Amino acid sequence: MTGGAHLDGFADLIRELIVDAGISDTAVHRRTRVELPGYYRAEKKWDLVVVVEDRLLATVEFKAQVGPSFGNNYNNRTEEALGNATDYWAAFREGAFRGSPRPWLGYVVLLEDATGSRRPVSVAEPHFPVFEEFREASYAKRYEILLTKMVRERLYDAASLLLSPGHARRTGAFSEPCEELTFANFAESLLARAIAYARTQR
């Protein structure tokens, strides 16, 4: 996927920020040792996991979506994001992350900035009306609604929505359609958690 390399860059930046905050680089796991127990399943591989002295500090999921099937992918991502968070917090509630205070959970979406993701999408209402915010909303807007609601419902501590055109694979150019979901806000929230933990260990 075009977005894969871009997300690697954001993941590397997050790792650097966490280490700069005072967390050991050996505590930040990416690609390997990223399995965490679930409640409704045995385990799930996350994209980035921070475990300090046997305590789960933070977990991050990265998702990239490139067209043309924006509709199917959006629905799958929505169900996946909600299911993962539900499983994660149930596992925490039941003591799966023993000895850990409430961990930090984040979600980053990189969406292709294209006609298909920007075009208004119709809704189906055979029995009951949809919520007004979904009327004439593009898939980019629907992602914004999803991420905003998930953060406000505290399913995730922070989320970021990034849009990048297909031709930006070399430059890495991207835009941020929602001020509440900027990468800076996302990183600030995670960094605050990392700094607070590092200070208590001195």
Mean pLDDT of 173-197: 95
Of 31 and 72, the one with more pLDDT? 31
pLDDT over threshold 70, residue 66:
yes
Residue from 95, 84, 87, 25 nearest 60 by CA: 84
Judge contact between 57 and 197, C-beta under 8 A.
Answer: yes
If 0-12 CB within 10 Å is exposed, 13-18 middle and 19+ buried, where does residue 139 land? buried
Task: Inform me whether the pLDDT recorded for 168 exceeds 80.
Answer: no
SS3 call for 170: coil
- At 97-126, the pLDDT tens digits run 999 999 999 999 999 999 999 999 999 999
Kindly tell me if the per-residue pLDDT of 51 is higher than 60.
Answer: yes
Dist. CA 50–CA 43, nearest whole Å:
16
pLDDT for the residue 201:
77
Q: Is the pLDDT of residue 3 over 70?
A: no
Q: Read off the pLDDT of each residue in 55-68 and give the average, rounded to a whole number.
A: 92
Q: Of 135-144, 161-170, 177-186, where does mean pLDDT reach its minimum? A: 161-170
pLDDT band at 68 (very low <50, low <70, confident <90, very high): confident
What is the arithmetic mean of pLDDT over 4-10?
Answer: 73
* Per-residue confidence (pLDDT) for residue 40, from 0 to 100: 98
- When pLDDT is cut at 50, 70 and 90, the band that residue 1 belongs to is very low
**Average pLDDT rounded to a whole number, residues 154-180:** 88
Kindly give the interhelix angle for 183-200 and 2-20, rounded to the nearest 10 degrees.
30
* 43 conformational bin, left if phi > 0, alpha if psi -120 to 50, beta if neither: beta
Overall average pLDDT of the 24-39 stretch: 96
Q: Taking all residues of the chain, what is their mean pLDDT, rounded to a whole number? A: 93
Lowest mean pLDDT among 33-47, 57-71, 124-138, 182-196: 57-71
Q: What is the pLDDT of residue 7?
A: 79
Q: Residues of the chain with pLDDT > 90: what percent? A: 82
In the predicted structure, residue 2 carries a pLDDT above the cut 70:
no
Q: At what angle do helices 139-152 and 70-93 cross, to 10 degrees?
A: 10
Domain boundaries, the chain: 2-200
SS3 167: helix
